[in-house]
Amino acid sequence: MSLSKKTIRDIDVRGKKCLVRCDFNVPLDGAMITDETRIQGALPTLKHLLDNGASLILCSHLGRPKGQRVAEMSLAPVAERLSELLGLNVPLLSDCVGPEVSGTCSTLQPGQVVLLENLRFHKEETDNDAAFAASLASVADVFVNDAFGTAHRAHASTEGVAHHLPAVAGFLIEKEITFLGNAVANPGRPFTAILGGAKVKDKITVIDSLLPKVDHLIIGGGMAYTFFKAKGWEIGKSLLDESSIDYCRSLMSLHGDKIVLPVDVMSSPDLSPISKPVAVPASEIPADKEGADIGPEARVQFDKVIQDSGTILWNGPMGVFEMEPFAGGTRAMAESMAKTAGMAIIGGGDTAAAVQQMGFADDMAHVSTGGGASLEFLEGKELPGIAALLDA
């Protein structure tokens, strides 16, 4: 997959209708948007297109309605918020294809914006149905993909429409390709990857892709306990990925010099918001307890590696950060990343959510908007939504 793609800077959009695939899959509490990061992330692209004389037909999915019309998953709250942020009326159309859509879009003037209703109200969207993609594309002159979070899916609105229209990247996708691509292809040294999260098997392809490139691979979160088990240590009731024990053992024998495991963990008899975890050496987890976070010494140990690194890429929390008693390790990592002089990159998903929630997002060089997409990108897989765009 060529990472050098045409962007909205490379085309003349004056007087053109641009179909823009955004990622407006925002968390809602009723009709209230609880985190508008993704909407804010789309604004630079939308403003650039409007400033250059385009009219915009915006499309996105929200949630998983599985091809059904689900009132709670309407994009109405997004249309309302976009109207406020852009300072112009952004009407929500009642569908994303059909006569109302083609009728309204045919009369769009430069500077006007409409938002199509949730793409996934049609199962043809996730099926990448050719006729549905053609119908989506029929109302526009140019296709702009700015939804990195869905770029790893070959859907009608990410891959299918690119067969019908000149297709270019928006600023968000450009930024993702630049930061994640450079981190892996041309990192400042030492290059450190930090992987957390629950199971080793979910990250095997990432580990295999990153290990030859990194100088240090820090392992935290639930994954660490399978490595401990592979060393023959007692892990008590800690999370274990039985199927990956041999893999961890061979990894440590081949790359032991690169792998950094936590020296201590926070152990607890149970996982609850009122737990009182205790720090224990990683090799001495009591049989009736489970590890649920990295310990205070591990936080210092990891911080030292981070501060000495030129590029740091982090994907996966250090513990059960959703519960305050086990959030300390993830918070300590976020603080380390925020103060490092190196290039600090957050690889989307839960890690991005944690960093946002804890107030450190603005201190990072880049916080990826894609969970699965950033992982697949780091695995070296081709992302269909990016591969479909015109090469620069």
276 catalytic per annotation: no
pTM for this predicted structure: 0.86
Residue tagged active-site, from 6, 199, 201, 249? 199
Which residues neighbour 51 within 8 Å (Cβ) at sequence distance 6 or greater? none
Choice among 16, 38, 229, 299 that is catalytic: 38
At 3 the pLDDT is 64
Extents of the domains making up the chain: 8-174, 187-378
Topology alike, domains 8-174 and 187-378: yes
Active-site residue, 316 included: no
Q: Name the catalytic one among 316, 349, 371, 385.
A: 349
Active site residue: 63, 372, 380, 381, which one? 372
pLDDT of res. 181: 85
User: Taking the domain 187-378, which CATH number applies?
Assistant: 3.40.50.1260
Give dist(CA 231, CA 372) in Å, integer: 30
The answer to whether residue 181 is catalytic is no
* Cβ pair 176, 148 in contact under 8 A: yes
Please tell me the predicted confidence (pLDDT) of residue 1.
47
pLDDT at residue 2 in the model: 53
Whether 331 is catalytic: no
Query: Which pLDDT belongs to residue 117?
Result: 98
pLDDT of residue 202: 87
CB contact set of 25 (below 8 Å; sequence gap of 6+)? 38, 60, 61, 62, 63, 149, 150
pLDDT score for 80: 97
- What top-level class would CATH report for the domain 8-174? alpha beta
**Distance of alpha carbon 286 from alpha carbon 197, whole angstroms:** 22
Rounded CA separation 121/300 (Å): 48
Give the pLDDT means over successive 10-residue stretches in the chain (392 positions): 82 98 94 90 97 98 96 97 97 97 97 98 98 98 95 96 98 90 88 92 90 95 96 95 95 95 97 95 96 98 98 94 95 97 89 90 89 82 92 90
